[in-house]
Amino acid sequence: MILDPSAVPGQVAFGSDLVARIEVAVSLVNALATTTAGGRPVPAPESDEELRDRAERALRDADALRSPLEAERAQGLEQLARQLREIFAAVHERRDDDAGALLNKLFARSGATPHLHRTGAEPLHLHFHRPDAGFVQGWTAGCAVGLAYALGSGHGDRLGVCAAPDCDRVFVDLSRNGSRRFCSTACQNRVKAAHYRARQRAGG
Ligand SMILES: [Zn+2]
């Protein structure tokens, strides 16, 4: 399975590029479109600078920051993150057709199209936008293709929303058995501890 590059050790992971795009989508949603994380409310950014910092961090965390962001691009990414969030929520709630319709909208709006091009002396690289696409348009196309690939190849269940209370962070499940339910071990431990306390109370 491509979404699990470790499944066949030694084999070329043709899907790693798509996984990288899903990881950018996850990072953008978690940095720019969550209202709660790890049991705490996430306040909206208070200024353009804060929004830009968060957007830059999101791209850096996904190893996708190539140069400092302008405020306008950060705003475009925030809007994209909200749309991606809706798609994660739809997939999570098994509303696959809704998720598909939202993804098709993102394809149309971004003018997504496969295109091989090279940067400088690097080898040819498959992009999902034309070389003249705008920055946000390019990421819209890339993230949409990544999520659509998962959804359209029977791996929609690998796109998750954290199961812990007061946490709406999202994740891509790359585990071997696909049993991940939480955004982080912190959330997993929080839920475990709550269950333990509940059992203690029930027991005595
Ligand atoms: Zn969580």
**Assigned token pair, 86:** 């809706």
In the reported structure, the alpha carbon of residue 178 is separated from the centroid of ligand 1 by a whole-number distance in angstroms of 17
* pLDDT, tens digit, 9 for 90 and up, residues 117-161: 888 899 998 999 988 999 999 999 999 999 999 999 999 999 999
In the reported structure, the alpha carbon of residue 182 is separated from the centroid of ligand 1 by a whole-number distance in angstroms of 5
Residue 149 CA to residue 153 CA, distance in Å, equals 6
- Side chain identity at residue 62, one-letter code: A
pTM score of the predicted model: 0.91
Q: In the predicted model, is pLDDT for residue 97 greater than 60?
A: yes
In the reported structure, the alpha carbon of residue 17 is separated from the centroid of ligand 1 by a whole-number distance in angstroms of 25
In the reported structure, the alpha carbon of residue 177 is separated from the centroid of ligand 1 by a whole-number distance in angstroms of 20
* pLDDT, tens digit, 9 for 90 and up, residues 50-64: 999 999 999 999 999
In the reported structure, the alpha carbon of residue 41 is separated from the centroid of ligand 1 by a whole-number distance in angstroms of 12
In the reported structure, the alpha carbon of residue 49 is separated from the centroid of ligand 1 by a whole-number distance in angstroms of 26
Q: How many residues does the chain have?
A: 204
User: By the 8 A CB rule, do 150 and 96 touch?
Assistant: no
Confidence band of 91 (pLDDT split at 50, 70, 90): very high
**Assigned token pair, 7:** 């499944």
User: By the 8 A CB rule, do 25 and 89 touch?
Assistant: no
User: By the 8 A CB rule, do 146 and 18 touch?
Assistant: yes
**Assigned token pair, 69:** 């962001």
In the reported structure, the alpha carbon of residue 134 is separated from the centroid of ligand 1 by a whole-number distance in angstroms of 32
